[in-house]
Amino acid sequence: MQQLINAILRYRNALIFAALLSISFILLNNKSDYHQTQLSQIELWFSGNIFQAQTNVKDYFSLQKDNLKLTQENTLLQQQLLQLRQPQQEPVEKLNFQVLQARVIKASFNQARNMLVLNKGAEDGVTPEMGIMSSEGIVGVTKTAVTHYSSGLSLLHKDLRINAKLKNTNAFGSLFWPGDKPNMMKLTDIATINSISIGDTIVTGGMSNYFPENIPIGKVFNFSILPSKRYYEIDVQLFHNFTTTGNVYLIKNPNKVEIESLN
């Protein structure tokens, strides 16, 4: 207390100056309309900046909450998008894909058989053989699920084959990873009677049990005709970046068991 009094006494002139100056500015503000307008503009600029800084800090701390909200919203939208991507003649009730949101917490991309670990498990409704996709394209297929976590085969897995097609011609083939670059896959079994050009979009075909039709995968990077002259061999540049982790969506096909029972 004594120190505070000492400090006040030491800086009394500065404090008196500040007080008298403030009174002068109040006088200025009250007596002159012009100065009142100018001062209110300065006040607005000042308070605007302070509130902006305050909001920035607050926003930073609520990022996780906002992210969760956004991913939940995205999950719902993805579910609706999946319905819209299906051919119109299909009865809607049959295409009721379930979508769950998850986050890739570990992903390998430099091995022959790459795996993913997701932060959602059996308790969240994850079951084996659910399709995994991101907002850019398909990512893989779930393999096992424990209570809170699940693992999956990445699309960059040598043993995984996905039914895919050229978006503009609907010509379908088999997509697999040759084990080379993490952003390139091969699409085979597309008959040469179909026209193809570099940049064509590759989407999921309708014959996969894991994914609904028309989910983006990548685009044609290069193609060649096999020596038999009957099929193309297409290099597909993937849309999803497998070297990063992030939010993904798990797709459950409710008709999968029924379809598999026919095989």
Partner 1 sequence: MLQDIVKLGFQITGLILLQFVIFSNINFFGLINPYPYIFLLLLFRLDGSLTTLLFIAFFSGLFLDITLQSHGAHTIALLVTSFVRSSLYQFTIGVNADYASKVWESGAKMGQQTNFLVGLIIIHHLTYFSVIFFSWSALPAILIHTLSSGLFTFLILWLTLMLYQKNR
Residues that bind partner 1 (CB under 8 A): 12-13, 16-17, 20-21, 23-25, 27-28, 31-32, 34-35, 38
Nearer to partner 1, 37 or 244 (CB): 37
Amino acid letter at 171?
Answer: A
Question: Quick one: CA dihedral 167, 170, 176, 178, positive or negative?
Answer: negative
For residue 115, which of 148, 146, 141, 133 has the smallest C-alpha distance?
141
Nearer to partner 1, 32 or 170 (CB): 32
Question: Residue 227: is it exposed, middle or buried by C-beta count within 10 angstroms (0-12/13-18/19+)?
Answer: exposed
Q: Nearest approach, Cβ of 31 to partner 1 (angstroms)?
A: 4
Nearer to partner 1, 16 or 112 (CB): 16
Nearer to partner 1, 32 or 244 (CB): 32
Find where tokens 């996905």 sit: 162
Find where tokens 């207390």 sit: 1
Q: Nearest approach, Cβ of 48 to partner 1 (angstroms)?
A: 17
Q: Nearest approach, Cβ of 74 to partner 1 (angstroms)?
A: 46
Q: Nearest approach, Cβ of 13 to partner 1 (angstroms)?
A: 5
For residue 114, which of 106, 103, 124 has the smallest C-alpha distance?
106
Rounded CA-CA distance 52/152 in Å is 43
